[in-house]
Amino acid sequence: MIVSMSDPRRHVLLVGLSPEALDCVTPALHEESFALHTVDGSPFVLDLIRGTAFELLVVALPNEGLLIEDLVEAARCPGSLCSNGGLIIVTTAEHLDEAVQWIDYGVNRIITLDWPRARIWQAFSDLLTMARRIDLTAPIQLSVPREIARDTILLKTSNLSETGALLTGFRTLPLGTRFQFILALPGIDLPIRGSAEVVRRAKADREKVDGFGVRYLNLAGESRQTLAGFIENYN
């Protein structure tokens, strides 16, 4: 495959996806006018990934003819033109545990085909929409499901944006955990309230922090406007 990067559109590489998986993911990408490149899983894909600046890689697991560890290494190795791009694994419920292991090693999101389509599309939006992120340490109180903790959990932000935050503290939460939160911002009388979902682990070697990333599911009342104004005026 020869990919012309003179095309002004943003480029997405789909690797080894089944017809069912393609039906799930391509409509959202076509709506945003991305240039989609579809290939079967094979070793030649590794050179394509190293030498082409795809903004997003969408990879099936399992993938006949291509090991996921080889693909992640090709995407994240020094000199790879995809080192800063997004990487999503598309899998099934029976292979979810295997896929989740790669979150700490260069994979940004895991999606399964039995998820609601809106949730699948949100995963793409998270990686393809760039929101301003600020470095800020602020206390955040989490109310989690009782099977995870009986009491509320107090953590702190490492950074945050209008769409999510990176949290640190004495514990982590499983991927996919949904919770209610109260976030206290400096100089703001009313706290930010809403719900969020754990979507990734922090990359300790790159981000220099041990924590996990969350995306907001809902922000209550005036919280969205308050947070947006705080971030816009933050120095």
The CATH number covering residue 68 comes to 3.40.50.2300
Whether residue 23 has pLDDT greater than 80: yes
Q: What's phi and psi for 111, nearest 5 deg?
A: -130, 150
Q: Residue 3: inside a domain, yes or no? A: no
pLDDT digits (tens, 9 = 90+) for 95-120: 988 888 887 678 888 889 888 888 88
Q: In terms of domains, do 138 and 120 share one?
A: no
- Give me the helix-helix angle, 68-76 and 44-51, nearest 10°: 20
Q: In 3D, which of 106, 145, 140, 110 has the Cα closest to residue 126?
A: 110
Q: In terms of domains, do 100 and 24 share one?
A: yes
pLDDT at 128: 73
| Distance (Å, whole) CA 87 – CA 108 | 5
pLDDT at 163: 85
| Distance (Å, whole) CA 211 – CA 155 | 10
Q: What is the mean pLDDT of residues 30-34?
A: 66
Q: What is the mean pLDDT of residues 48-66?
A: 90
pLDDT tier, 188 (very low <50, low <70, confident <90, very high otherwise): very high
Q: pTM score > 0.85 for this model?
A: no
Q: In terms of domains, do 150 and 215 share one?
A: yes
**In terms of residue numbers, what domain contains 102?**
11-128
Collapsing DSSP to helix, strand or coil, 71 comes out as helix
Strand residues in 61-108 grouped as ranges (E)? 86-91
Q: Residue 215: inside a domain, yes or no? A: yes
Q: Residue 150: inside a domain, yes or no? A: yes
pLDDT digits (tens, 9 = 90+) for 86-101: 899 999 989 988 888 8
pLDDT at 84: 75
Edge-to-edge strand ranges of the sheet holding 56-60: 35-39, 11-15, 56-60, 86-91, 109-112
CATH number assigned to the domain comprising residue 199: 2.40.10.220
Among 80, 101, 128, residue at a domain's last position: 128
pLDDT at 89: 94
Whether residue 8 has pLDDT greater than 60: no
State both tokens at 207.
């981000």
Q: In terms of domains, do 116 and 149 share one?
A: no
Residue 219 burial (C-beta neighbours within 10 Å; 0-12, 13-18, 19+): buried
Q: In terms of domains, do 76 and 95 share one?
A: yes
Give the distance, in angstroms, between the CA of residue 194 and the centroid of all CA atoms in the same chain: 19
Q: What is the mean pLDDT of residues 201-217?
A: 76
Q: Which long-range contacts (CB under 8 A, 24 or more apart) does 63-72 make?
A: 63/15, 63/16, 64/16, 64/40, 65/16, 65/40, 65/41, 66/15, 66/16, 66/41, 66/42, 68/99, 68/102, 70/43, 70/46, 71/15, 71/45, 71/46, 72/102, 72/105, 72/106, 72/107
The proportion of the chain whose per-residue pLDDT surpasses 70, expressed as a percent, equals: 90
Count of structural domains, the chain: 2
Q: What is the mean pLDDT of residues 112-141?
A: 83
Written as one letter, the residue type at 96 is: L
pLDDT tier, 15 (very low <50, low <70, confident <90, very high otherwise): very high
Among 60, 95, 128, residue at a domain's last position: 128
Residue 1 burial (C-beta neighbours within 10 Å; 0-12, 13-18, 19+): exposed
- Give me the helix-helix angle, 19-31 and 117-128, nearest 10°: 50
